[in-house]
């Protein structure tokens, strides 16, 4: 299962507009440079975050594969730990 090029292009153009075009429309004043830098950094970091999230969905991590004996031991240990630490009583 591969990535589609359409979302990559759409979001790259979207964040490119925010980071390249929008700084030209920053209001004139003493803080114009700061506003422009904030817009550029916002666009770059949001695009990078989106790209990482999109790429992570292409090849999702799968949990470890455990055999039955290990699962039984983990279940026994967790139940014993939880009942002793939190004083949980079962009605069964």
Domain ranges of the chain: 5-86
Q: Give the pLDDT mean for 73-77.
A: 83
Return d(Cα 34, Cα 26) in angstroms, integer. 10
Give the model's confidence band at 81: pLDDT under 50 very low, under 70 low, under 90 confident, else very high: low
Cβ atoms of 55 and 49 closer than 8 Å: no
Q: Give the pLDDT mean for 72-89.
A: 69
Q: Is pLDDT above 70 for 6?
A: yes
Return d(Cα 66, Cα 64) in angstroms, integer. 6
pLDDT digits (tens, 9 = 90+) for 44-74: 999 999 999 998 888 777 777 888 888 888 8
pLDDT digits (tens, 9 = 90+) for 13-48: 999 999 999 999 999 999 999 999 999 999 999 999
Residues 6 or more apart whose CB falls under 8 angstroms from that of 11 comprise 47, 50, 51, 54
pLDDT recorded at residue 79: 75
pLDDT recorded at residue 29: 94
């Amino acid at each position: 299962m591969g990535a589609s090029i359409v979302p990559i292009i759409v979001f790259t153009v979207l964040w490119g507009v925010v980071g390249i075009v929008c700084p030209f429309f920053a209001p004139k004043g003493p803080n114009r440079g700061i506003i422009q830098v904030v817009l550029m950094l916002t666009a770059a970091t949001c695009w990078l975050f989106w790209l990482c999230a999109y790429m992570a969905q292409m090849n999702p991590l799968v949990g470890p594969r455990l055999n039955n004996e290990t699962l039984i031991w983990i279940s026994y240990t967790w139940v014993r730990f939880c009942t002793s630490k939190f004083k949980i009583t079962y009605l069964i």
